[in-house]
Amino acid sequence: MKDALINIQNTFYDAGVRGNYTSEENLHLTLAFIGEYPDAESVMDSLAGVSFTPFTISLDGIGSYGDLWWAGISQSPVLDAVVRRIRRALAENGIPFDRKKFSPHITLLRKASVSSMPPVSTENVSAAVESISLMRSDRGKRGMIYTEAGALTAEEASE
């Protein structure tokens, strides 16, 4: 999936679109944005009871919120259920998070230099989700630096 996302970014760049492109290592799907919370261990303790089995996500179109351009992720009842469980666990444990409606997307570009998006098609690409990471973000000289602070691993479905 990352290769497909990079290809989309390259199409934008080759069409003359400038801005702050998300680096390959920073491409991600946010399930719950926690923000400035200093205790990763408490967050992971809160999420310890959240279980899920492996599932698949798929790219579904390109869109924008003003000058922020993104790749959409197909609606998925399984993904939605995992997000609800994560958010419920955070709320029950007093961990603050952004409660905006979940809109699955991966940010490709910020501060796009043009207002109209060049034609680009999303490839029919899917990815298996076998773990979910808690990411710490720090502002670096060249943008955000993401570091994994913990992870939930999918449980194999029992036969």
Q: What is the pLDDT of residues 49-96, one digit of tens each?
A: 898 999 999 999 999 999 999 999 999 999 999 999 999 999 999 999
pLDDT for residue 124? 85
Annotated catalytic residue, options 2, 18, 28, 111: 28
Cα–Cα distance measured from residue 119 to residue 93, given in angstroms and rounded to the nearest whole number: 44
Of the candidates 61, 106, 44, the one whose C-alpha atom is nearest the C-alpha of residue 79 is 106
Tell me if 57 sits within 8 A of 93, measured CB to CB: no
* pLDDT tens digits, one per residue of 108-141: 999 999 888 888 888 789 999 999 998 888 887 7
Cα–Cα distance measured from residue 39 to residue 146, given in angstroms and rounded to the nearest whole number: 16
Cα–Cα distance measured from residue 75 to residue 17, given in angstroms and rounded to the nearest whole number: 28
* DSSP, residue by residue, 86-102: HHHHHHHTT-----SPP
Determine whether 105 is an active site residue.
yes
**How many beta carbons lie within 10 A of that of residue 35, not counting itself?**
8
pLDDT for residue 156? 59
**How many beta carbons lie within 10 A of that of residue 129, not counting itself?**
18
Annotated catalytic residue, options 1, 21, 105, 132: 105
Of the candidates 58, 51, 90, the one whose C-alpha atom is nearest the C-alpha of residue 72 is 58
Residue 157 in this model has a pLDDT that exceeds 60: no
pLDDT for residue 53? 92
Residue 39 in this model has a pLDDT that exceeds 60: yes
The pairing of strands 68-73 and 143-153 is: unpaired
**Full-model pTM:** 0.88
